[in-house]
Chains A and B, each alone.
Chain A
Amino acid sequence: MPTFESHGRAYDVDEDGFLQDPSIWNEEVAKDFMVTEGVNELTEGHWKVINYLRNYYLQFGIAPMIRKLCKETGFKLNEIYQMFPSGPAKGACKLAGLPKPTGCV
């Protein structure tokens, strides 16, 4: 199983680099993983998205609808792409420690 190492910490990840065990997530995970998704710094906006995803995930066991994420955080989809170049389902979910969505997405 692949591991991802950063700042002296090692994480079990899947082949796309998503955290294998979402329950071990903390803010350091987001900071450690941001380089893999082309994110240079974590602004207030980034945290708003990450925290929203995280809380939704804890309640529903999955990421929210993309449209809902945009509406609830107040960011347009293209603004989310500016913050997370690999997009909401990949970059933002990875930093928030969520599994990667699968299916017709």
Chain B
Amino acid sequence: MSEALPKHEELVQIRYDVPRNGWRSAHVDFRKGTYSYSAAPKNVQYLGMANPRHWRPTDKDWKLPPDWKQIILRGMKERLEKFRSFRLFMDICVRCGACADKCHFYLGSADPKNMPVLRAELVRSVYRRYFTASGRLFRGLAGGRELTEDVLKEWFYYFYQCTECRRCSVFCPFGIDTAEVTMIVRELLNLVGVNTNWVLEPAANCFRTGNHLGVQPHGFKDSIDFAVDELEELTGIRVEAPINKKGAEILFVVPSADYFATPHYYTLLGYLALFHEIGLDYTFSAYASEGGNFGLFNSHELMKRLNNKIYAEAKRLGVKWILGGECGHMWRVLHQYMDTMNGPADFLEEPVSPVTGTRFENARSTKMVHICELTADLIHNGKLKLDPSHNDHWRVTFHDSCNPARGMGLLEEPRYILRNVVNHFFEMPENTIREQTFCCGSGAGLGTDENIEMRLRGGLPRANAVKYVRDKHGVNLLTCICAIDKATLPTLLEYWTPGVEVGGVHELVANALVMKGEKDRTTDLRGEPFPAKEAAVHA
């Protein structure tokens, strides 16, 4: 971080007072550390989107198109007609406030406009003014608000202070999915060229090279080859890691950070070791070399365009089904949108584990299985030889990544795996895990350096729960199954809860995995000595 981080003492001065000004005042102070940079024109252009230009959120003039207001209102009308959910969520909120204190951004910032109810009200008031009879007649008296440039700026500020984690939705008695409201508003902002670079550059890269990072096919192969070499050094076993192999049984899709960043990389080693051990007939793809989908953070249209690559590549390679790695929002897209957006994938087969014969009935429609489902099934059927003592240097907790947990209900499988591969596993408090998990504070495209203050604020509830298990049980490793988590939680924990590292579930699987024909392994995947071996040396 080239910028100095805010001081702890300042960030914890969170005062949940009633503000002096009413919420209708739309003026926003774009304070450094609380927003992300606007999208560079080259990325907007590359994606064929509206109004590419240089602008900054702190500018007075955002260089909107002259008819921006008509564009937004027309966009709202179209979406109210197209998405019944949007109209429903605009209409049915009774402002009971059950969601108010469930949002990590509200808890960490005390800004009332980060209460999900009020954040949604920022757009609901405009809906009421222009799309209901009472609002058109009685305007403010009926809870309506004029659409002004200040309102637009306010939308940009607050709908990019929502990570679409959906914790609030768990508590809403009406089931309002605030993430969907955020998605629609971001989509509307797009129509007039108001978007962030951290979302659009990865999306543009994904079109250009197949993944968010912009890794080209020869770079992808170089990275995978490096991992194969390193795994051989660690285990004595040379594994195969095919890329673009036609006729493989399974297409394996991972987030690109797995073959770029640390600690993600150790999870990649974990996949490679596991697949070798069970003799999986699989292939990576250089075209579908990204599980994540930053389109989800921008618009339905972009999400669909990016997601399409996975099925297209599965078809081209002639695989039977698709396996996905430790990726977060990939699973939201997959579980909730893929089938109707780009399916049905009737050229694929209902996934069956080639090792156990288990039929993944839940994936009958999408034909795509989460790696934790595969591994949990392998363990359940006794197909893996595991020595959990190899992970005895870790005291482990598990952070439910929002999208696999709330987006697809993957709650038990990672825990089942962890209980089989580590000896020291501790849960964080129950209102901070599973369906009620607290977000990392950096999802949905908010994980930028420039947004660091909001990230630290939004991540405080999660970090606080980690602190609880660190102090009570000596936890020193937080595991998770999402690449954004692996990228952003180390920064968060270093700030709020030093002494806790971040790792992936399949990193620990491969540490514990006893591979056939392996050499006398002395270290884990990070190159750290196994605890038992270390003890033996000292003895």
CB of A91 closer than 8 Å to a CB of B: yes
CB of A48 closer than 8 Å to a CB of B: no
Q: What residues of B have a CB within 8 angstroms of the CB of A62 in the complex?
A: 213-216, 219
CB distance from A12 to the nearest CB of B (A): 12
Given A37-B2, A38-B2, A60-B218, residue A102 in contact with residue B265 (CB < 8 A): no
Interface of A is mostly: loop
Output the residue of A1, A87, A102 with the most chain B CB within 10 A: A102
Q: What residues of A have a CB within 8 angstroms of the CB of B54 in the complex?
A: 1
Report the bound CA distance from A90 to B257 in whole Å. 15
Q: What residues of A have a CB within 8 angstroms of the CB of B257 in the complex?
A: 103-105
Q: What residues of A have a CB within 8 angstroms of the CB of B487 in the complex?
A: 104-105
Interface residues of B in 217-270 (CB under 8 A from A): 218-219, 222-223, 226, 230, 255-257, 259-262, 264-265
Interface residues of A in 9-52 (CB under 8 A from B): 14-17, 36-38
CB distance from B298 to the nearest CB of A (A): 14
A16 touching B449, Cβ below 8 Å: yes
Which listed residue (A63, A64, A104) contacts B486, Cβ 8 A?
Answer: A104
B260 touching A101, Cβ below 8 Å: yes
B212 touching A104, Cβ below 8 Å: yes
Which listed residue (A14, A71, A87, A105) contacts B40, Cβ 8 A?
Answer: A14
CB distance from A77 to the nearest CB of B (A): 6
Q: Which residue of B lies closest to A63 (CB)?
A: B260
Report the bound CA distance from A92 to B203 in whole Å. 24
CB of B72 closer than 8 Å to a CB of A: no
Given A60-B218, A65-B259, residue A103 in contact with residue B212 (CB < 8 A): yes
Which listed residue (A14, A61, A71, A86) contacts B219, Cβ 8 A?
Answer: A61
Report the bound CA distance from A101 to B487 in whole Å. 12
Question: Per-residue CB proximity of A86-104 to B under 8 Å, as 1/0?
Answer: 1101110000000001111
CB of A7 closer than 8 Å to a CB of B: no
CB distance from B64 to the nearest CB of A (A): 20
A86 touching B1, Cβ below 8 Å: yes
B213 touching A105, Cβ below 8 Å: yes
Report the bound CA distance from A34 to B212 in whole Å. 27
Which listed residue (A17, A38, A60, A104) contacts B261, Cβ 8 A?
Answer: A104
B262 touching A66, Cβ below 8 Å: yes
Report the bound CA distance from A47 to B2 in whole Å. 20
Output the residue of A14, A38, A77, A103 with the most chain B CB within 10 A: A103
CB of B198 closer than 8 Å to a CB of A: yes
A102 touching B212, Cβ below 8 Å: yes
Q: Which residue of A lies closest to B223 (CB)?
A: A65
CB distance from A13 to the nearest CB of B (A): 12
Q: What residues of B have a CB within 8 angstroms of the CB of A91 in the complex?
A: 2
Report the bound CA distance from A72 to B534 in whole Å. 27
Q: Which residue of B lies closest to A20 (CB)?
A: B40
Report the bound CA distance from A36 to B265 in whole Å. 28
A68 touching B1, Cβ below 8 Å: no
Question: Per-residue CB proximity of B17-39 to A under 8 Å, as 1/0?
Answer: 00000000000000000000100
CB of B105 closer than 8 Å to a CB of A: no
Given A62-B215, A65-B260, residue A15 in contact with residue B230 (CB < 8 A): no
Q: What residues of B have a CB within 8 angstroms of the CB of A86 in the complex?
A: 1-2
Q: What residues of B have a CB within 8 angstroms of the CB of A1 in the complex?
A: 54
B265 touching A16, Cβ below 8 Å: no
Question: Per-residue CB proximity of A49-86 to B under 8 Å, as 1/0?
Answer: 00000000000111111111001000001000000001
CB of B202 closer than 8 Å to a CB of A: yes
A17 touching B2, Cβ below 8 Å: yes
Report the bound CA distance from A38 to B3 in whole Å. 10
Report the bound CA distance from A19 to B218 in whole Å. 24
Which 8 A-B pairs have CB atoms at the shortest separation, nearest pair first?
A103-B212, A104-B483, A60-B219, A104-B257, A103-B202, A105-B261, A66-B262, A102-B201
> Besides the contacts A61-B216, A62-B213, A103-B483, what 8 more A-B pairs have beta carbons closer than 8 Å?
A62-B214, A65-B226, A65-B265, A101-B260, A102-B212, A103-B256, A104-B257, A105-B213
Q: Could you list 15 A-B pairs, sorted by A, with CB under 8 Å?
A: A15-B56, A60-B216, A60-B218, A64-B222, A65-B226, A67-B226, A67-B265, A90-B1, A101-B261, A103-B205, A103-B257, A103-B260, A103-B292, A104-B255, A105-B260
Q: Spell out B's residues near A (CB within 8 Å).
A: 1-2, 37, 40, 54, 56, 197-198, 201-202, 205, 211-216, 218-219, 222-223, 226, 230, 255-257, 259-262, 264-265, 292, 294, 328, 447, 449-450, 482-484, 486-487
Q: Spell out A's residues near B (CB within 8 Å).
A: 1, 14-17, 36-38, 60-68, 71, 77, 86-87, 89-91, 101-105
